[in-house]
Structures are given as C-alpha cells and as structure tokens.
Amino acid sequence: MNPILERQMLQNRRCFLQGAARGVSTAALASLLIKSGHANEGPGALASHFAPTAKRVIYLFQSGGPSHLELLDYKPKLKDLHGTELPDSIRQGQRLTGMTSGQSSFPVIAPKFGFRQAGEAGTWISDLLPHTGSVIDDLCLVRSMHTEAINHDPAITFLQTGSQQPGRPSLGAWASYGLGSEAEDLPAFIVLISHGSGKDANQGLLDRLWGSGFLPSSHQGVKLRGSGDPVLYLSDPPGIDRKLRKKMLDGIAKLNEQELARSGDPEIATRIKQYEMSFRMQGSVPELTDLSSETAATFDLYGPEARQPGTFAANCLLARRLAERGVRFIQLYHRGWDQHGSLPTNIPRQAHDIDQPQAALISDLKQRGLLEDTLIVWGGEFGRTVYGQGGLQDDYGRDHHGRCFSMWLAGGGIKPGLVHGETDDFGYNIVRDPVHVHDLNATILHCLGFDHERLTYRSQGRDFRLTDVEGHVVRLLLSAFS
C-alpha cells in the first residue's frame, strides 16, 4: 500500500470517528470490523486477488537445520559409499562454512537410522518419524528446497522474510497485513517457541524474525511464553480491577486520538488498537492456555508432553486452539537441530520431540474439519552435508547445506500424498524440480489468495514484496493443479 493513500484513508477514518458517537456504537463497529476481517490499517484487510484455499497458516519451523538425510530424503546408495571421499564432481566448488572449509578430507557418512515405506504411495520416511509416517498421505513432501544462505541467521532471516538482510517484514506480518484478523480477542499473528531435547538447543532466535519491518507495527507477531504469564503484564497489579483498567485505557485512548488528529501518525492509530487488544487479551489468553477442557483422548493423541507448557507438543495443541479462534498465522519455532557433532545421539531426541505432536496436529485438524483451510508448513533454514564434519566418526556431525533440503506442507489447498523434487544419490545436489525459498513463499501467499507480485508495500520510495523480485508459484504442489 502507498503510505500517502494510507494517510488519506486514515484522515477519512479519523473524521468518521470524531463525528461518531462514543461508547456502544463505536465498540459495535469495531466488533463488526474485526469479525469481517477488516480491522487492519486504513480501511482494513486487503482484498484478496483470487479465492484462497487457506484461511490461516501454522508454520512448524525447525530451527538449526534438520538433516534431510536422516529424516526425509532416503539415499540407499550411501551405505555402499560410506567412508569414501565425496567426489569433486559432486561438490562442484561449493562455498563451505568456516567450520569445514579447512578439512583435508570430506568422507561420505551414511545415516545410522533406517527408512521405511509408508502410506498408499509407499513414500520413504525415517524410522525416527513413525507417527509422521502414519499421516504421510496427508503430506506434500518437497525434497528439492534450496537457498543461497549457508549460516543460520541469514538463512532463517531469508526463509522468514524473503531477504538475508534484517529489516524486512516477516511472512506472518505479510499474512496479517493482507488478511486482517478473524479473532476478536487475539492478535492475527502469534509465535510459540520450544527448546529441543537435543544437545544444541541454544540456537538464537531474534524477535525481528516475527517482526513487521516497515509494515505498520500492528502486524508483528506476539510471542506467548512457555512459563509464567503467557504474555508479560497479563495480570493487573493489586488494587486494579477490570472496570478501573478499562477507564484508564479509555482516558489514554482519548489522549492518543487527540495526538492522532494533530499529527496524523498512523503508528498512533496502531497504538490505540494495541491497547484495546491488550485489554481483550487479558481475558482471552488465560482461557486459551487453560487446557483443562481438553479430553484425555486429545492428550493421548498429542502425547504426554502436551501437558507440559512450553514443549513442542503443548505448542502444537495450542496451535490447534489458536486456529479454532481465528488466528491467521501461528508460528512455532522448535530449537536444537544444529548438529555439527553427535548427530546420531541427538537427532533421535529431536525427532521424538516433534513426531507424535505434529502428526496429532494434522489428525486433530482433519477430524475437526480445519485441515482443508489450514496450511501447515514444516522445515528448517537448510539441510546438512552428506560428508562428516571433523571426518569419519562414529558419533558424526554434519555441516550446513543449502544446496538441497526437505520440507513438507499439508492442508490448505496443497496436494496430499505428493513427493516433489529429487536429489542425487548423495543427497547433495538437486536433479529435478528445484524449489527456491522465494518459490515457497510465493506458493504460501497463493494459498492465502494473494499474488506475490501484487502484495506490495511502498517504503523509502519503492514498492517492496515478500519475494523481492523473484519467485514463482509451484503449481505442481497445489491440489487444484492437474
């Protein structure tokens, strides 16, 4: 959107609000705007470019770079190649990280874990993911993802914002900007973080990964904490009841509206809305995070860790509850996949963290009729090398690898039971149907009803978009494409 047009629409909104009756009528109008999805900046959510297949996204981000070779990309010939030197013809002069660039040898290491065929199509999946294998026919497995980034921060930033350089809006912020909100009492974009059971669960995650960049700040993600109050200052201090709190906020709103009328700064309008949202969240968030209404069968479905706040399992259950309540973009981060050493020791723990809960999330959404309009995305910022970091070791590690890695999608208009793309026998290079980071993001926006080339925002004299100047929709992944 052009900020000049946004300012004009803001003026129109201000004139209306100044002339409208305060109190019940204004509250009723706000309620109608939220329910219709038109509670965003200016006149509200943008008009979609075509009919969406997904109303919301649940993004299960695996921070640190899970190894596709141990999990999703079966390479049976690696058993025979184990211990041999990775051929130069396969490496092709690839730029390496500083952690392995000085190695004199690059021995191929075959995964220690087996694979089995699952589902009607007999899709190969790791023995580490038996529960995920049970829902494999609902997944669209992409084995040909690739990225230019080779280190964590630029790679995560690239996948989440469309740029390796910090400062751009996150995918969730773009979704909030385009879709508006269906939820009356919750933000459109919510973030949940869990710490993996593997040794390396200290991967940094900065708030800018779910930031709004140059978009209005109302579109940034709101992080729910796994311990203590889910949101800071959720509870009123002693001596402050709800009636007094509302009176205080009404007074602050009047002062902010006066300043808005004087300056026309859209961030003041955002501040007014965020104060109102914070007040409503004091009632909605405790109800959201109180899982006492969930049945024993539901907890059995998600696994015993679903009862432990802050775990991946508990966050998957919360993701379903958020989807039911109209939250547009639900971002889960699960840390601990950066396995440069002791991968055979740590990856079973990481896989155990996620396997049952993510399969349960799919089954739960499906049985409630929510999977068909909920897009689930799973994956990390890159994959791992076929050669061992530090040489040939029994408890081996793998370095970062951006030339190919695996992700999966489900629901929301994605073709189920599909395996898209292929890598070579080493799982090192793509040989068929590559999917770039920009292609993935273009496809996600397409499912939400937006043309990635037309969903733009003007900042610093030019129009920006999530996919920069690249990307195309991977139509082969869409259920409507035949």
pLDDT digits (tens, 9 = 90+) for 302-322: 999 999 999 999 999 999 999
Q: For residue 18, is pLDDT > 60?
A: no
pLDDT digits (tens, 9 = 90+) for 294-303: 999 999 999 9
- The total of other beta-carbon atoms located within 10 Å of residue 272's CB is 21
Q: For residue 232, is pLDDT > 50?
A: yes
Predicted pLDDT of residue 259: 85
pLDDT digits (tens, 9 = 90+) for 250-262: 888 888 888 888 8
Contact by Cβ (8 Å): 321, 288: yes
pLDDT digits (tens, 9 = 90+) for 124-139: 999 999 999 999 999 9
32: confidence class by pLDDT, cuts 50, 70, 90 = very low
CA 471 to chain centre: 18
431: confidence class by pLDDT, cuts 50, 70, 90 = very high
Q: Residue 440 has which token pair? A: 């993935």
Predicted pLDDT of residue 24: 37
Average pLDDT over residues 168-178: 97
Q: For residue 23, is pLDDT > 60?
A: no
Sign of the torsion angle spanned by Cα atoms 443, 445, 449, 452: negative
pTM above 0.85, yes or no: yes
What is d(CA 67, CA 406) in angstroms, rounded to the nearest whole number? 8
Percent of the chain with pLDDT over 70: 90
pLDDT digits (tens, 9 = 90+) for 365-408: 999 999 999 999 999 999 999 999 999 999 999 999 999 999 99
153: confidence class by pLDDT, cuts 50, 70, 90 = very high
What is d(CA 74, CA 117) in angstroms, rounded to the nearest whole number? 10
Average pLDDT across the chain, whole number: 89
What is d(CA 131, CA 113) in angstroms, rounded to the nearest whole number? 16
123: confidence class by pLDDT, cuts 50, 70, 90 = very high
Instruction: For the chain, state the CA radius of gyration.
Output: 23
Predicted pLDDT of residue 198: 81
Name every residue whose Cβ is closer than 8 Å to that of residue 260 and which is 6 or more positions away in sequence: 14, 268, 269, 272
Q: For residue 121, is pLDDT > 80?
A: yes
Q: Residue 237 has which token pair? A: 């201090």
Contact by Cβ (8 Å): 344, 396: yes
Contact by Cβ (8 Å): 478, 76: no
Q: For residue 43, is pLDDT > 50?
A: no
H helices of 123-241, in order, are 130-134, 152-161, 171-179
> The tokens 């003007």 sit on which residue?
458
Predicted pLDDT of residue 27: 39
Q: For residue 71, is pLDDT > 80?
A: yes
* 145, β-bridge pairs: 405, 435
Q: For residue 168, is pLDDT > 90?
A: yes
Predicted pLDDT of residue 243: 80
What is d(CA 180, CA 177) in angstroms, rounded to the nearest whole number? 6
Q: Residue 106 has which token pair? A: 């690059």
Query: In sequence order, what DSSP letters do the residues of 4-49 get, joined into one string?
Result: HHHHHHHHHHHHHHHHSPPTHHHHHHHHHHHHTT--SSTT-SPPPS
Q: For residue 12, is pLDDT > 80?
A: no
Percent of the chain with pLDDT over 90: 72
Name every residue whose Cβ is closer than 8 Å to that of residue 294 and which is 6 or more positions away in sequence: 317
Contact by Cβ (8 Å): 226, 216: no
Predicted pLDDT of residue 7: 57
